[in-house]
Structure 1
Amino acid sequence: MASNQYRLVWEDQFSDDDPVDRNRWDFDIGTGDNGWGNQEAQCYTDRTDNARCENQRLIIEAHREDYQGQRFTSARLKSKMSWTYGRLQVKAKLPSGRGLWPAIWMLPRTKIYGNAYWPDNGEIDVMEQVGYDPNKIVSSVHTAKYNHMKNTQPTHGVDVPDACSNFKIYTLDWTSDQLEMFVGDDNQPFEQRILVWDKGNQGWERWPFDNDFFIILNIAIGGTW
């Protein structure tokens, strides 16, 4: 779909030097179940030490500190709004450091399909990067039939050597029959296509992506990649 066929329905420019806008974002707090399902080492907080707006940017900051039984803290934000189909774009400069795991991703608002919320109802990983391979940007999709527990998930990475030194634009184009992820910059936002996933003909086990999903922005520490 051409850019002029979209209309803006939601944005956050993080323009005020204040805590994160609670009218737009919720926080996950704590250590989750089994380190948020991935044996992650951080405790998520809603403190301004870990997430705040500063100089027209959202800062998500991980710290090495003893906190509620964990050795690290960080933040994980969830948009209060959710959507079905459209274009999502996030402009971000990624952190560098072994053990860091930043992500821009989406989960469904409600459980509609199958017996389990995850993976039956889907996950869209627009951008993931791990600290031991900082020049690689990865996009993935998880569904009931295709997910990392079965080692069947569609996933692909591209080289972005300056992802930690310059701001990049990460894009999801989501239609009724296709997901496409891209990475680029202000001049060429669609410079590299990372991943394409089509609806196919296997029903919801392949394509649960016809319901509202919300945005997640976070930095995890450690975990099983």
Structure 2
Amino acid sequence: MKNNNIRIKDFKAIIIFVHVLLMSSCNTDETQTVATFDNLVINEEFSTDGNLDSSLWNIETGDGTAQGIPGWGNNELEYYTDRTENLSVENGYLLITARQESFNGSSYTSARIQTKNKFQTQFGRFEARMRLPNGQGMWPAFWLLGDDNNGTEIWPNIGEIDIMENRGQQPTTISGAVHGPGYSGGNSINKEFNFSDSRVDTDFHVYGVEWGENYINYYVDDVLYNQITPEDVTGEWVFNDRSFYIIINLAVGGDFVGNPNSETLFPQTMLIDYVKVYQQ
């Protein structure tokens, strides 16, 4: 049975000192900006079996070639499909499944969904409750991408907020990052969160950001573990001047995670319990 009671708490609009005792938390002398985002505007609980809400989600397909970025710009190995073998809604969960199979010139398949032109917003709290896959070469991600003004602007100038990324071979570690002009790819501004008594592939966790003017706070299960502000980036802060949309995907291989090896078992599934967005 689904547990819908777990969510990141709302906070009053104050400046506080957060003392977090867990590993990978903020230093206790860091000043944290925390705002109130308590108006629930997206509450996607995947409640209808077999149907992904097409009024909210787009399904992206291919290997990135049609988009002008073969390998999705990261040397990824998967071909994204809209087949139920890779993307399905069952028992109140969204399942994104990576498979090892020959498909349209690729050796792996998976799925990727996003909300471009259906839900885009500036600022808010974004969170998702997930259980991640396991194994070398698995790269699950929950992230936000800036609007490209109908293709007239390009990454990284449009900005990217990575709420959660995981290397499948590291089941006790996730990371969050921002990408922008001067701090993209391997030079992103990022920080890891390490679980001391849990795993991402056997347990569900809530991953979220609170994004306001001139700050992005990163959370895991109600724990604030990082804050990024304009003073932290090495280029232009591009997160105050445009709307962003949501992306959820499970990549196979790529620069961030490395390729699968002989010990990687397939299929591997990423389970999403819910996606919620709050605004002021």
TM-score of the pair, normalised by structure 2? 0.72
1:105 to 143, 155, 176: 143
- Which of 65, 87, 110 is the equivalent residue of 1:74? 110
Q: Percent identity between the aligned chains? A: 33
Moved over 4 A (4+): 201-204
Residues 171 and 202 from structure 1, CA distance in 2 versus in 1: closer, same or farther, beyond 3 angstroms?
closer
Find the structure with the greater CA-based Rg. 2
Alignment of 1:1-225 (within 5 A): 2=11, 5-32=37-64, 33-79=69-115, 80-111=118-149, 116-148=153-185, 151-160=186-195, 161-184=198-221, 190-193=222-225, 195-200=226-231, 205-225=236-256
Q: Partners of 1:152 and 1:168 in 2: how far apart?
A: 27
Deviations 1:190-221 (A, max 9, x none): 2251x311134989823334311111000000
Q: Which whole-Å deviations, capped at 9, do the CAs of 1:106-146 have from their partners, x for residues lacking one?
A: 1012349xx84100110000000011222110101001021
Question: Given the superposition, is the C-alpha separation of residues 2 and 212 from structure 1 closer, same or farther in structure 2, using an over 3 Å criterion?
Answer: same
- Runs of 5+ consecutive residues of structure 1 not aligned to the other structure: 185-189
**How many residue pairs are counted as aligned between the two chains?**
215
Structure 1: how far apart are the matches of 2:174 and 2:233? 28
> Counterpart of 1:87 in structure 2: which amino acid?
R
Q: What displacement does 1:183 show?
A: 0.6
Greater relative CO (CA pairs within 8 A, separation 6+): 2
> Which structure 2 residue ranges, 5 or more long, are not aligned?
1-9, 13-35, 257-280
**Over aligned residues, Cα RMSD in angstroms?**
2.1
C-alpha displacement at 1:5, in angstroms?
A: 4.8
Cα deviation digits, residues 50-93 of structure 1 (max 9, x gap): 11111101111111111000011000000230110010110101
The normalised TM-score by structure 1 is 0.89
